[in-house]
A and B are shown apart, each in its own frame.
Chain A
Amino acid sequence: MQGAPVQLTCLERDDVDNNGDVDIRDAFMLAKAIETKGDHELARDIEGDAHLDMDDVDRIACQAVDLGRNG
């Protein structure tokens, strides 16, 4: 019997380094991973469009500086 599917929250999905917070380090680590490994080797598509690219990096960086999140 399969367990119930786990729905990751946006915060969990974008917390690339799993330190409990989304900050510029997450965007940086993802950008480095894309540059060095290529997106096909990365396990997850953060943006959810089945293609991991610099748009995902930008989106995480924008979250990092979002005053609504940092309030």
Chain B
Amino acid sequence: MNRFLLALSIALIVVIDQAADAAQVKAYDIVINPHGASLAAYQVELIAEDTHARIVGVEGGDHPAFRKAPYYDPEALETGRIVIAAFDTGADLPAQPTRIATVHMIEPDKCDCGYALDLTVAVDPDGNDIDADIELLPVEGETR
């Protein structure tokens, strides 16, 4: 009986280990370049192209105006699509490229996952649209 339990435990450990290996955790910085204009509010939609990639977390950015975690729908967690947004009514706003958020993903093992990123709102302190670019940058060393 003890040998049976030992064999069962080993089998379970192997299965769990293989399951853990079947996915990788990755983080991506979302960077907005407002090209010299003050960025007061943004809204971004991120969609994973691989249907098995899942969003597991969102954190705020570098600049004090966007350091707090942005608004997002909690229903987006564990799916591959999210809309994130934030604003700041203060005077200290980023005008140079800045990380506005980081998203944490679980991706299938060895997936070279692609993402569609759409900057739907980027406005200055008066609410006017600004010409801004957006980038998704993998965070080095965050894969495991």
Contact = CB atoms under 8 A, between A and B. Distances in A.
Interface string A26-39: 01110110010000
B45 to A, nearest CB: 7
Contacts of B79: 67
Looking at chain A's contact residues, the main secondary structure is: helix
A25 B41 CA distance: 7
A70 interface: yes
Contacts of B82: 65, 67
A23 B81 contact: no
Interface stretch (B21-29, B106-114, B119-127, B134-142): B119-127
Contacts of B125: 32
B73 A24 contact: no
Interface in A7-52: 17, 23-25, 27-29, 31-32, 35
A13 to B, nearest CB: 18
Interface in B59-87: 71-73, 75-76, 79, 81-87
Given A23-B85, A28-B40, A64-B71, 20 more contacts: A17-B127, A23-B120, A23-B121, A24-B42, A24-B86, A24-B87, A25-B121, A25-B127, A29-B127, A31-B87, A32-B89, A32-B127, A62-B71, A64-B43, A64-B85, A65-B72, A65-B82, A67-B73, A67-B76, A68-B73
6 contacts: A23-B120, A23-B121, A25-B43, A31-B87, A31-B89, A35-B89
